[in-house]
Amino acid sequence: MPIATVRGMTMDCADPRALARFYQELTGMALSYDADEFVALTAGSGCDLGFQRVDGYRAPQWPGQDVPQQFHLDLRVEDLDAAEKQALELGAVRPDHQPGGDRWRVLLDPAGHPFCLAAG
């Protein structure tokens, strides 16, 4: 029997509300908590996404490790090309380095965190 289950993940950023809006539009998750220093989204799956303000936040430098990526999200999508287009319209950036070929795409959120869109 496990000792714990994953309740959520929290990302450091300079502007929690702006980053939460990006992920809310990208995933369809609902706003569950909203304060100046912390914002949370939920989908009812038991694993929420949180966004916390960090003074002096430095964006990851992917694929380099001068400022490590810290972590990244893998998001399943039906249509890889369509999902990438929509994410870019929401403010994501597509870096040149794309190690996934046709299997996945690496994008950067507005705060610089890498995330992957994976078909399937």
Give the ranges where the chain is alpha helix by DSSP (H): 16-27, 80-90
Q: What is the pLDDT of residues 27-69, one digit of tens each?
A: 999 999 999 999 999 998 878 999 999 999 988 887 877 877 7
Give CA separation, 53 vs 48, 82, 111, 118, in Å. Answer: 17, 31, 11, 28
pLDDT at 22 over 70: yes
Q: Are 109 and 102 in contact (CB under 8 A)?
A: no
Cα angle 57, 61, 64; round to 5: 145
Q: Are 107 and 115 in contact (CB under 8 A)?
A: yes
pLDDT value at residue 4: 58
Q: What structural domains does the chain harbor?
A: 1-57 (3.30.720.120), 59-119 (3.10.180.10)
